[in-house]
Structure 1
Amino acid sequence: MKVLMWLNRGAEIPGGHRVQMERTAAALRDLGVAVEEHLGPVEPEGSWDVVHGFQLGPREVAAMRARGIPVVISTIYWGLSYTSSPGAGRLTARDALGRGRRGLRYLGASLRGREDLTRLSLQETADDLDRVRAWSMAEILLPNAEGEARHVRDDLGVLTDCVVVPNAIDVSLFAAGVDRPRPAGSVLCVGRVEPHKNQLGTIRALAGAPGLSLTVVGPAHPHHPGYLEECRRAAAQADNVTLLPAVEHSDLPALYARHRTHVLATWYETTGLVSLEAAAAGCTVVTTDRGHAREYLGDEARYCDPADPGSIRRAVDRALTDPPSTGLRHRIADRFSWAETAERTLTAYESVLARRGTRARDAHP
């Protein structure tokens, strides 16, 4: 089988979307799939059985379909709110507040003048319409969580078949230091430094906490240099916070193994790869209560409200006294490996070809 993985937007931004594409491609190659990776908006030339898109818009999907190539899309969709409803069809108070965020953006634009309001309205409407058009033309969508699939359907009305393909980590890489002793009170926060990841809120919540040290590690987001400077200033004012630049992926296991707890108090997470890595490495885990992390971590993590510094502090304090979860490590190893992700992805490809009556081995004699 020949597959093209195409990331057309955001390739310059380090993070989970790049990791997901690259690691899934590598695991598919282990299964005998010929995978080609392509970055950027320029339409690639070639012949493939399937195009697997990340961030593809309607123009790119239509172009592939015109060439007779079926398209599947990893949605990586956050939804119109910054949380997921615990019950189907029921709007919680937090959902209402999250969706109200959009209303506040429109209010701010209206106060600046009609031109700004019109521009914002058109941009957000265009973004949603692009998703609807692209995802409706795709053969199958591959969300990372059941909750994400619900949002695609309920927020956008897209009825394309979804196959949930969980995100994953290299379990063996991170399990190497699982039994290593860690200093009491040592807290780590790994991730791209940007407003969405809420490092500034985490620093402020934990600054000055007695007996606690926080290390924040990650690359700067190329579109948010000012946020990194804010984090640096906040860290400099706290005697228990260290801000470090990004490290190589291969160096992360040793970093996790030097800390007792990992915190990821973001405004939303579909998965939180660093939470999975930290748990596999023997850390206790604090993560956001907004999104779908609970589908991965269950009750074996502490959850916090990223808008509430007290909630972040309490969750971290409790996690520091928790023992590492052996059950969570086993679940990650069983369900969230790249091999498992590749198997599910390949099954989705095969279902697309079967639906079209195509066999991959006949497509390229």
Structure 2
Amino acid sequence: MKVLFQARQDYRKHPAGDTIQLLATAQALKNLGIQVFLSLNPRIQLDEYDLVHVFNATPVADVSMFFENAKKQKKPLVVSPIYWNMEHYLKRDNTHSLVFDQWESYQPWRGQLLRESNLLLPSSQLEMEQIQKDFQVVTPYKVIPNGFPTEYLGIDETYFREQCPGLPEEFVLSVARISSRKNQKWLAQCCQELGLTLVLAGPIDEPQYFEEVQAYPHVIYLGTLQGRLLASAFAAAKIHAMPSWFETTGLSSLEAGACGAMVLTTNQGWSKEYFQDMAIYVNPFEETSLTPALEKALTISPRPLTEHIHKHYSWARVGELTLTAYQHLLES
């Protein structure tokens, strides 16, 4: 089987969760013997491919061109939507009014793409229900969860402690792009109230926001961590906190939980379908929700969540589920 992956034009320049999902899924499929190719060309000839798989329907101006090309060449189109309705977030104050108008103007495009695709692969049942609610979609679908890298298994905190000495025994870690959407400033404020050290890791999307977050004296920024060092950082952290305004899944939360950190995450998104009652949830629209959530997270064992993630959410399993979905589509 030969599969073509397509994604937003800047998926490597500005990596995010969709970048990880695309690359990890591609590798998992290759491990199963599937030939996976990647192209950002919206006019690529599709004769040699069995199907086209597009990731992330949110930047619809980009991906709609892939949709039109597949439709024109009569190739089966699979879409991983990675969808969250941002209306509530963008309307919370007046600062995003132009962005909200743009979001609304693109919603019909997203609806057409999702309705006329051959197969949708949402990352949760809750995501699919939101899509059905927003766009009256009846497109066939198969829930394909996200995963964590199994090479993280067995990595403990030792390497991170060697590379980053001087950190307290208990600290809060947050691995994400530094941006107002990720809500690190709120996290810094609440960690200061509790006397907790906050360790941040990830690329800086908004330099001015980053300066505001770093103004808190207990905040330590480590840049972007990867591979063994990232896994060891997750293992060292008491809590991994992601109080974002929304998260479709929260891949860093999934990875942190797999490595043994207690997960504290936003309730705006699909995390509860993954973590059930084994994580701590906060509502970013309620200012007082985070401090008691951090206090609670300090007292809870992460072991049940870690074992749950190991059992259900490896990228290898994601590859198997994705391949089965492809096979059913092509057979039908």
Deviates further, 175-184 or 329-338: 175-184
Question: Could you list the runs of 5+ residues in structure 2 that have no partner in the other structure?
Answer: 58-62, 162-166
The residue number in structure 1 matching 2:238 is 260
- 1:8-30 per-residue CA deviation (whole Å, 9 max, x = no partner) reads 34413211100000000000011
Q: Are the counterparts in 2 of residues 194 and 220 from structure 1 also a CA contact under 8 Å?
A: yes
Note the C-alpha offset of 1:61: 1.2
The alignment partner of 2:5 has SS state of strand
Cα deviation, residue 265, structure 1: 0.4
- Which of the pair has more CA radius of gyration? 1
**CA deviation after TM superposition for structure 1 residue 140, in Å:** 0.5
Counterpart residue identity of residue 191, structure 1: A
Report percent identity of matched pairs.
Answer: 29
CA distance in 2, matches of 1:310, 1:204: 11
Letter in 2 for 1:128: Q
- 1:17 maps to amino acid: D
| Cα 1:131–1:337 shift into 2, 3 Å | same
AA partner of residue 146 (structure 1): Q
8 Å CA contact 1:24, 1:342 repeated in 2: yes
Q: Is the 8 A contact 2:26 2:36 kept in 1?
A: yes
Residues 208, 239 of structure 1: 8 Å contact kept: no
Which residue of the other structure, out of 134, 137, 140, is the alignment partner of 1:161? 140
Quote the residue 1:360 is aligned against: none
Q: Which amino acid aligns with 2:2?
A: K
Which of residues 283, 286, 296 is equivalent to 2:274?
296
**SS of 2:84 mapped into structure 1:** coil
Note the aligned Cα RMSD (angstroms): 2.5
Q: How does 1:112-261 map to 2 (within 5 A)?
A: 121=101, 123-177=102-156, 183-210=168-195, 212-221=196-205, 225=206, 228-236=207-215, 238-261=216-239
Give the whole-Å Cα distance in 2 for the aligned partners of 1:59 and 1:34. Answer: 23
Of 289, 296, 299 in structure 2, the residue corresponding to residue 318 of structure 1 is 296
Q: Output the CA distance in 1 between the equivalents of 2:188 and 2:287.
A: 9
Instruction: Judge which range, 3-12 or 163-172, deviates more.
Output: 3-12
Alpha-carbon distance change, 311 to 9 in structure 1, aligned in 2, over 3 angstroms: same
| C-alpha distance in 1 between matches for 2:135 and 2:76 | 22
- Quote the Cα distance in structure 2 between the aligned partners of 1:205 and 1:191: 18
Report the Cα distance in structure 1 between the residues aligned to 2:139 and 2:53, rounded to whole angstroms.
Answer: 15
**Which digits, 9 at most, give the CA deviation of each residue in 1:308-352, with x for residues without a partner?**
443211111111122222x22222112111111111111111111
Deviation at 1:234, TM superposition (A): 3.3
Question: Match of 1:17?
Answer: 18
In structure 1, the partner of 2:164 is: none
Cα–Cα, structure 1 residues 202 and 41, in superposed 2: closer, same or farther, change >3 Å? farther
Q: Which stretches in structure 1 are left out of the alignment for 5+ residues?
A: 82-97, 110-115, 356-365
Q: Aligned equivalents of 1:108 and 1:273: distance in 2?
A: 26
Cα gap change, 1:244/1:309 in structure 2, threshold over 3 Å: closer, same or farther? Answer: farther
User: Quick one: which amino acid aligns to residue 195 of structure 1?
Assistant: S
Equivalent position amino acid for 1:64 in 2:
A
The answer on whether the counterparts of 2:184 and 2:213 sit within 8 Å (CA) in structure 1 is no
Aligned equivalents of 1:234, 1:7: Cα separation in 2: 31
Q: 1:159 to 1:293 in 2, by over 3 A?
A: same
CA distance in 1: counterparts of 2:210 and 2:291, whole angstroms:
17
Provide the C-alpha distance between the structure 2 equivalents of 1:335 and 1:303, rounded to a whole number of angstroms: 20
- What does 1:273-288 correspond to in 2, within 5 Å? 273-288=251-266
- Whole-angstrom CA distance in 2 between matches of 1:290 and 1:108: 18
Report if aligned partners of 1:178, 1:281 keep a CA contact under 8 Å in 2.
no
Distance 2:80 2:157 in 1: 31
Shift of residue 80, structure 1, vs aligned partner: 5.0
Instruction: Map residues 101-116 of structure 1 onto 2, 5 A cutoff.
Output: 101-102=90-91
The verdict on how the C-alpha distance between 1:282 and 1:183 changes in structure 2, with shifts beyond 3 A counting, is farther
Note if contact 2:179-2:210 (Cα within 8 Å) is conserved in structure 1: no
Alignment of 1:45-60 (within 5 A): 45-46=45-46, 47-55=48-56, 57-60=63-66
Cα drift, residue 262 of structure 1: 0.8
CA positional deviation for 1:232: 2.5
Q: Hey, what does 1:113 align to over in structure 2?
A: none
The aligned residue for residue 7 of structure 1 is 7
* Distance (whole Å) between structure 2 residues aligned to residue 22 and residue 321 of structure 1: 36
Q: Are residues 1:341 and 2:318 paired? A: yes
**Helix, strand or coil at the partner of 1:200:** helix
List structure 1 segments (4+ residues) > 6 angstroms apart after TM superposition: 178-182
Q: Match of 1:84? A: none
Q: How far off its partner does 1:354 sit?
A: 0.8
| Aligned-partner SS, 2:298 | helix
Give 3-state SS (helix, strand or coil) of 1:310's partner. coil
Report if the CA contact (8 A) 1:287-1:304 is conserved: yes
Q: How many angstroms does 1:184 deviate by?
A: 4.2
Structure 1 SS opposite 2:198: strand
Code of the residue aligned with 1:166 in structure 2: it is P
Decide whether aligned partners of structure 1 residues 195 and 299 sit closer, same or farther in structure 2, where only a CA change above 3 A counts. Answer: same
Alignment TM-score, normalising by the size of structure 2: 0.88
